[in-house]
Amino acid sequence: MKGHPLSFSSFQLPSSHPLALYGWDGEWEAEFAPYVEQGLLPGRVVRVDRGLCDVVTPAGVVRADTEFVVPRDPMKVVCTGDWVAVDPEGDDPRYVRTLLPRRTAFVRSTSSKRSEGQVLATNIDYVVICVSLALELDLGRIERFLALAMSCSSGEALLHKSALSWESGAQPLVVLTKADLVPEAATLGHLVQDVETAAPGVPVLSVSSSAGEGLDVLAAVLSGGTTVLLGQSGAGKSTLANALIGEDVMDVRAARDVDGKGRHTTTTRNLLALPGGGVLIDTPGLRGVGLWDAETGVGQVFSEIEELAADCRFHDCAHEAEPGCAVLAAVDSGVLPERRLDSYRKLLRENQRIVAKTDARVRAEIRRDWKRKGAEGRAATDAKRGRWH
pLDDT single digits (tens) 331-383: 999 999 999 999 998 888 877 776 655 545 544 554 555 455 555 555 655 56
Residue 176 has φ and ψ, to the nearest 5°, of -90, 110
Q: Which residues pair with 205 in a beta bridge?
A: 175
Whole-number pLDDT of residue 356:
57
State pLDDT tens for residues 12-37. Answer: 444 578 899 999 999 999 999 999 99
Check the CA dihedral 31-34-36-42 and report its sign: negative
**DSSP assignment letter at 199:** S
Whole-number pLDDT of residue 14:
46
Query: Strands 226-230 and 171-177: what pairing?
Result: unpaired
Check the CA dihedral 89-95-100-106 and report its sign: positive
Please, which pLDDT band fits residue 162 given cuts at 50, 70 and 90?
Answer: very low
Contact of 42 with 28, CB cutoff 8 Å: yes
Residues 6 or more apart from 290 whose CB is under 8 A from it? 108, 109, 110, 111, 350, 354
Which whole-number Å values give the CA distances from 82 to 46, 106, 186, 300, in the listed order? 8, 12, 43, 27
How far apart CA 189 and CA 175 sit, in angstroms, is 13
Whole-number pLDDT of residue 350:
79
- Mean pLDDT, the chain, integer: 79
Residue 360 has φ and ψ, to the nearest 5°, of -65, -35
Query: Strands 126-132 and 226-230: what pairing?
Result: parallel
Residue 325 has φ and ψ, to the nearest 5°, of -85, 115
Angle between helical axes of 360-384 and 338-356 (0-180°, round to 10): 130
Whole-number pLDDT of residue 184:
94
Residue 387 has φ and ψ, to the nearest 5°, of -95, 115
For residue 166, the SS3 value is helix
How far apart CA 112 and CA 128 sit, in angstroms, is 26
Contact of 154 with 160, CB cutoff 8 Å: yes
Please, which pLDDT band fits residue 50 given cuts at 50, 70 and 90?
Answer: confident
How far apart CA 241 and CA 248 sit, in angstroms, is 8
DSSP H helical ranges for 181-286: 185-198, 215-222, 237-245
* 259, 262, 263, 266: CA torsion to nearest 10: -170
Residue type, 125: D
Query: Strands 171-177 and 204-206: what pairing?
Result: parallel
Percent pLDDT > 70 in the chain is 71
CA geometry: angle 236, 242, 247, nearest 5 deg = 155
Query: Among 143-147, 152-156, 323-327, which stretch is predicted with the lowest mean pLDDT?
Result: 152-156
Contact of 107 with 94, CB cutoff 8 Å: no
Higher pLDDT, 140 or 164: 140
Other C-beta atoms lying within 10 Å of the C-beta of residue 349: 10
Residue type, 267: T
Please, which pLDDT band fits residue 329 given cuts at 50, 70 and 90?
Answer: very high
Contact of 158 with 122, CB cutoff 8 Å: no
For residue 109, the SS3 value is strand
Higher pLDDT, 192 or 168: 192
